[in-house]
Every structure is written in structure tokens, then in C-alpha cells.
Amino acid sequence: MTRPRILVTGGTGFLGKKVIPLLREKFEVDVLSRSGKTEVQGDLTQWNAGLDFDFLKNKKYSLFLHMAGLYDLTASKVDCYQHNISTMGTALKVAEALNIPFFLNTSTVAAGVNSSLTSVKPFDLNFSKPFPDAYSESKALGEQVLHNWPVQNVKGRINLRLGVLVGDTKTGSIERIDGPYYAAEAFKKIRTVIESFPTAVPLPGNPNVRLPLVPVDKAAAAIVKFCEWTLADKPQGYLSYHVTPTYGLGAKDFYISALKNQAIPHKGVVLVDQISEALILKVSKFLAKFPEEELYYLMNFPIYDTQTTREILGENWCPEFKEYEQTFWSGYEKFVSDR
């Protein structure tokens, strides 16, 4: 029996390198990239992505998996718009031209970070107030493009809002210092301050915030499962899902874990969110070089509704932090020692 063929973008990145081997176990896979080392050479920033549509139509792709994009909280609006909005339109154009019936996009929880809801639904987008950075804004607008694109041949559009990707559950391996790993970097710089602090150390955070950390191998497995589900159930129209843990990790628990990893003695941790958030961000950046962009998310992540996700992936598809805490830090330490 012939296996379905999938066209994939973003197959060479941190996530893509985990996804592609799993996809190849179940599907015929063509990776589209600019590298010249993949099955299809193309560039989504160009008109028609530089592709030969007549030739590729013969491939009869069953699904377009779009993982390409720019992930950089400090990137300019121009760069974010080009790589996260314009390329979305180009990818949809390609899918339409190649008569691909299903389109699956990997977005990010950052798209819903400024929601006014207590529990954010996977469809929720809030443009009534500014986004914290061009990246989150561009991803939210990219979702709008996907939702509202006037498609004919693409029957089903599935949007996956991925949580904050961290090292895998087996080795914890990472490719750069990013997101929660900045906490360990920051604590190294203010170690003496923490050790000498007479009471619980005040650190920026909100007790109601949960960090939606997702090991990259679990995210990859989830994406493949969604591909299988899409081709089996053939959903129509636009659907969106949060690919995040059921509960997530509290900021205080994470801080304590990071301090333990660095073997820094302390008299406890207290979260500070009652003074000006802007002041907290500035002071934290000055004292510990903790990026303001990263701290904003740490203090403002909403709760993400995952009910529909768990109906597809199962209740325990994503482990909570305590289950992979040791490998999380061992991966960080290996990266630090090798850099």
C-alpha cells in the first residue's frame, strides 16, 4: 500500500530535526528548504517560492506541514513580518497550487500571550492591546492569515500553538541558551547576592502564571500524531490546538530548581509582581542580564486550554517538568561546557 506523501517546511531546525525522522517512519516525506540538501529546493520569501508547480503536482501530496518561521523575540518587525506572515501566505499559495488537501501549521503560545481571558482558548487572539514584541505579533497575524485565507483546494487547516520548546526528555540537548535557560545564566551572575540575602530572595514572577514548557521530542511526536489524525479524520475548515502541558510549571518552582542546579544556597524565593512591571524588567536586566523579552513571558503567560488537544493526543502525552527535570539541567550543563 502506498504511503501518503507530505511536503514539509522547517525540517532542518531544532524542532524539525526531531520531527522528520518520526515522519519518515509513517509517510513519504519531501522537505522544502533553501539548503540545497533536501528533496525540494525553494524559498518561501520568494514569489511562488521558486518552485516548479507542474512538476510537484505529480507528487500528489496529502498534507503540507509548515514549520518554517523566524523565532527571535528581539527581531525587527520587518524580519518577523516577512518570515512569519508573508511566508505563511506563500506556503498556502503553494498548497493551493499543488492541490494539497490539508495544511498543518506550527504556531506558538506567544500568539495568545496578551489575551484577556483567564484561560486562553486555542482560537483566541487579542489585538486590542499591543503585543510585547514583533515576534508574537507576527505569529498572531500569521494565524489570522491561515484562518482567513480564501482556499479552495485546501480543505482542512490545522493550527498548532506549541509551548516553549526545551531539551528532549532523554538527553536534554539544546542548541542555544533561550527561554527558561536564561534563569540559570542570570543566577550565576548574582550568586553572591543570593547567597548573602538575609531573607527569601525576591524574584520577578506571578504566582498565577504557569510556564508551558514542552520537551522537543514530545512536541515532535505530537506533531506527527496530529498529521496522522488529520489524514485519518480529514477535518474541514480551520481548527486550532494548544500543544502545551496540562498544568505547566510555576515560576517559583522553576527558580528553586535553577538555584538547586547551580548549588546556590538561599533562604527561599518570593515572587514579586506588585511593583511596576517595567521596573522589575529593567532591574532584572541590569543585575543579571536576563532579557526583558523573556521576563515578560515569564510574568505574563496565561493558562492555555488543552482539552481538545488531550482528546487527540491522550491525557499524558506531555510530561510535567518534574518528570524530566534532571535531563533538562544535564542538557543545559553540557551545552554550557561545550560552548
**Is it the case that residue 320 has pLDDT exceeding 50?**
yes
Cβ–Cβ < 8 Å for 244, 163: yes
Averaged pLDDT, 15-41: 94
* Crossing angle (nearest 10°) for helices 181-189 and 325-338: 60
Phi, psi of 125 (to 5 degrees): -135, 140
**pLDDT interval class at 279 (50, 70, 90):** very low
| pTM higher than the cut 0.85 | yes
**Is it the case that residue 286 has pLDDT exceeding 50?**
no
Minimum mean pLDDT range among 160-169, 178-187, 248-257: 178-187
For the chain, give every domain's residue range. Answer: 5-165+213-243, 167-211+247-302+319-338
pLDDT of residue 154: 97
Minimum mean pLDDT range among 64-78, 89-103, 138-152, 279-293: 279-293
Nearest residue to 48 via CA among 89, 78, 103: 89
**pLDDT interval class at 37 (50, 70, 90):** confident
Q: According to the 3-state scheme, what is the secondary structure of 49-111?
A: HHCCHHHHHCCCCCEEEECCCCCCCCCCHHHHHHHHHHHHHHHHHHHHHCCCCEEEEEEEHHH
Averaged pLDDT, 152-161: 97
**Is it the case that residue 1 has pLDDT exceeding 70?**
no
**Domain topology for 5-165+213-243:** Rossmann fold (3.40.50)
**pLDDT interval class at 339 (50, 70, 90):** confident
pLDDT of residue 290: 61
Minimum mean pLDDT range among 97-111, 170-184, 317-331: 170-184
Give 275: exposed, middle or buried? Use CB within 10 Å, 0-12, 13-18, 19+. Answer: exposed
**Is it the case that residue 275 has pLDDT exceeding 70?**
no
Q: Which residues contact 190 (CB under 8 A, 6 or more apart)?
A: 287, 288
| pLDDT tens per residue across span 202-260 | 888 889 999 999 999 999 999 999 999 999 999 999 999 999 999 999 999 999 999 99
- Distance in angstroms (rounded) separating the CA atoms of residues 231 and 62: 8
**pLDDT interval class at 338 (50, 70, 90):** confident
DSSP lists the bridge partners of residue 9 as 32, 66
**pLDDT interval class at 62 (50, 70, 90):** very high
